[in-house]
């Protein structure tokens, strides 16, 4: 018999509306929400929890997470045994769930085994939507070999199934084969590196990566599986070509401009800014081991983050929420919500982190909302996050309840 939980006298943020619905009753049966009512509900043998003075909301979704990024210097993880890396991933995933992130979209490195470990409960972590290894060209953002190193050796290491976050694939045929291989291994989406980046050693931020033919090949393969491509892209030029070629999700986009944002809106694309990673790297990167080449490139994109939010908001782009943190910097994950409050309202931020991200991971109506039939991934906040978004910081201190799939991960309100 399915367990029954009734949340009573709740102020509900449903993931869609910009205001709370007061005095609500939410019934959870098994792993799903059975009923949402503005009246009391009486069901025998149900656990009843009074939420007077608290807010019930959907679990948060982080749409740009790195579950295997055990260290800020990504080259270091290349030499880690996969078994050791799995233990680092366990810590990162379980900490994310404790902050109220009940689902994450991994942006390169996580695989089917890690997703299965969370699904089966071996890891008490969020739902995991993984991309497998990202696709990168030689010398691209996923190639962490130095100038002096022969990248062919690194590519062979990837192909042996090491700890790499990326698969080096050059040319249409290699890209097509690499995409098919990740899809075969269960990837929920394909990740490509379409511009230079901060963490990689040899590519400037403005570097365009992958030809149009290579990008189009990855897009076609993903669509053939009814999946999609997410692309690391900073500059307006890199973003423009990705969107025109059918890429559905643009990651970071710090240097986007007004015409490109309008193009993204017209193509119904998602854009996932990741502001907190630049703040965390700037404040703590040197002390936690971020390599010098990354620190040197950081300033190019760091100051443009808030401006990109303004541009995206004006254009009406579907804006997701991601963090892109590495190693010990993951502890700043919830800070992403507060940073956005300089440009966006708390409601806009929470909608990005719930229903918008749910649509992005192709689980619209099932995740990121409080509605009959949705999965019961729920948070109880001690206070009103629409008045004070900072309540979602502090490593879950203000979360009285965390529920994933109808099961309590945390419950400070148990009778």
What CATH number matches the domain at 60-333, 1.10.3720.10, 3.30.420.60, 2.60.40.10, 3.20.20.140?
3.20.20.140
* Mean pLDDT of all residues in 302-322: 94
- Number of Cβ within 10 Å of residue 29's Cβ equals 18
Q: What is the value of pTM for the model shown?
A: 0.94
CA distances from 388 to 256, 279, 297, 379 (A): 29, 21, 33, 15
Reported confidence tier of residue 147, pLDDT bands at 50, 70, 90: low
Q: Is the pLDDT of residue 195 over 70?
A: yes
CB-neighbour burial class of residue 313 (10 A; exposed 0-12, middle 13-18, buried 19+): middle
Q: Residues of CATH 2.30.40.10 domain(s) within the chain?
A: 4-59+367-411
Rg (CA), the chain: 21
For 228-254, write each residue's pLDDT tens digit.
Answer: 999 999 999 999 999 999 999 999 999
CA distances from 222 to 62, 184, 210, 260 (A): 21, 11, 16, 23
**Among all chains, which residue has been given the structure tokens 């679990």?**
59
Q: Residues of CATH 3.20.20.140 domain(s) within the chain?
A: 60-333
CA–centroid distance for 121 within its chain:
20
CATH T-level assignment (fold) for domain 4-59+367-411: Urease, subunit C; domain 1 (2.30.40)
Query: Across the chain, what does the average pLDDT equal?
Result: 92
Reported confidence tier of residue 305, pLDDT bands at 50, 70, 90: confident
**Among all chains, which residue has been given the structure tokens 């009940």?**
102
Whether residue 69 contacts residue 326, with contact meaning beta carbons closer than 8 Å, is answered with: yes
Which helix (DSSP H) or strand (DSSP E) does residue 190 occupy? strand 190-193
Reported confidence tier of residue 149, pLDDT bands at 50, 70, 90: low
Q: At what angle do helices 112-120 and 82-98 cross, to 10 degrees?
A: 50
For 6-38, write each residue's pLDDT tens digit.
Answer: 999 999 999 999 999 999 999 999 999 999 999
């Amino acid at each position: 018999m399915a367990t029954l939980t009734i949340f009573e006298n709740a102020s509900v943020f449903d993931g869609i509306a910009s205001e709370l619905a007061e005095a609500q009753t939410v019934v959870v049966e098994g792993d799903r929400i059975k009923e949402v009512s503005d009246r009391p509900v009486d069901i025998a043998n149900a656990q009843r929890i009074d939420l007077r003075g608290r807010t019930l909301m959907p679990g948060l979704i982080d749409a740009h997470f790195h579950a295997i990024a055990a260290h800020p210097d990504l080259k270091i993880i290349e030499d880690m045994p996969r078994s050791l890396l799995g233990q680092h991933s366990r810590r990162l995933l379980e900490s994310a769930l404790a902050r109220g992130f009940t689902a994450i979209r991994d942006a390169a490195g996580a695989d089917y085994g890690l997703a299965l470990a969370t699904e089966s409960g071996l890891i008490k972590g969020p739902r995991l939507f993984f991309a497998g290894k990202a696709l990168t060209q030689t010398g691209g953002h996923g190639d962490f070999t130095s100038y002096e190193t022969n990248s062919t050796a690194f590519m062979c290491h990837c192909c042996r199934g090491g700890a790499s976050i990326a698969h080096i694939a050059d040319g249409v045929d290699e890209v097509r084969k690499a995409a098919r291989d990740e899809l075969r291994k269960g990837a929920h989406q394909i990740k490509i590196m379409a511009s230079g980046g901060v963490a990689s050693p040899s590519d400037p931020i403005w570097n365009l990566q992958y030809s149009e033919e290579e990008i189009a090949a990855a897009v076609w393969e993903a669509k053939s599986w009814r999946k999609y491509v997410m692309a690391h892209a900073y500059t307006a030029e890199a973003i423009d070509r990705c969107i025109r070629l059918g890429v559905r999700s643009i990651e970071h986009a710090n240097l986007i401009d007004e015409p490109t944002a309008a193009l993204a809106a017209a193509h119904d694309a998602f854009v996932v800014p990741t502001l907190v990673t630049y703040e965390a790297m700037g404040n703590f990167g040197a002390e936690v081991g971020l390599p010098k080449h990354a620190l040197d490139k950081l300033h190019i994109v760091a100051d443009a983050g808030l401006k990109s939010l303004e541009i995206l908001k004006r254009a009406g782009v579907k804006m997701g929420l991601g963090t892109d943190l590495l190693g010990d910097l993951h502890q700043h994950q919830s800070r992403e919500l507060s940073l956005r409050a300089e440009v966006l309202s708390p409601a806009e931020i929470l909608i990005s982190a719930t229903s918008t991200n749910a649509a992005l991971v192709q689980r619209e109506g099932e995740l990121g909302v409080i509605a009959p039939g949705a999965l019961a991934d729920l948070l109880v906040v001690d206070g009103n996050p629409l008045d004070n978004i900072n309540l979602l910081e502090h490593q879950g201190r203000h979360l009285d309840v965390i529920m994933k799939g109808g099961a309590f991960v945390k419950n400070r309100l148990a009778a």
